[in-house]
Amino acid sequence: MSQLAPALDLERINAKLGHDAAALVQWALGLGQTSIVTTNFRPFEAVILHLVTRVRPDVPVVWMDNGYNTEATYRFADQVSRQLGLNLLTYLPLRSRAHREAVDGPTPALDDPRHAAFTEEVKLEPFARALRETAPRVWFTALRASDSAVRAQMQPVSVNPDGLIKVAPLLHWSSKDLHEYCAKHGLPNNFDYVDPTKGEEQRECGLHIVH
């Protein structure tokens, strides 16, 4: 996807900028490549959106709306979008929640063999579609090392096998850091958030697992 990625000195970039979120965002956007930010409007998500859009206000913000979000999450999405003037691109599953539940029933349990297909339908397929349509070379994500064992092994800047440069400016931030940033910049927050593909904290949904 990107001819730039092989030339990046990831070790040097991560050592120099990995703990400076603002500088890392400036560097990544300064590459002059097509960029996106993904969001799920979970707690503290306004931080990554503010960090990136204050440098480039029109950057596409991609939301895979699985149709199972809480009312508070939908209200939060609207509030943040208005406050920051987001260029929000919403990607929905190919079937509505009503259609899916009429045919397949309620959300399958985590140990149900059908759960993998459910995750593919409501999260992974919409994300793959978003990548095809936006064709980014730089992907900003709000993942944090404390989210899961998989993410604890990641670096702030990495390159996917397809050449997509993944930038996680908040990787080393604590909840305290995020709270203080929101307070400083008057950003709203949302703690009434549920991801039906994970079911519990520190469980991966597959979006950030490199194959």
Catalytic annotation, residues: 205
Burial class (CB in 10 A: 0-12, 13-18, 19+), 111: exposed
Residues pairing with 35 in the sheet: 138
State the amino acid at position 179 in one-letter form: H
Q: What is the DSSP string of 127-174?
A: HHHHHHHH--SEEE----GGG-HHHHT--SEEE-TTSPEEE-TTTT--
What's the token pair of residue 9? 């000195």
- In the structure encoding, which two tokens stand for residue 98, read together? 């009503």
Q: What is the phi/psi pair of residue 87, to 5°?
A: -90, 75
The DSSP call for residue 19 is T
Neighbouring residues of 99: CB distance < 8 A, sequence distance ≥ 6: none
Q: Give the H/E segment covering residue 176.
A: helix 175-185
Q: What is the DSSP letter of 51?
A: H
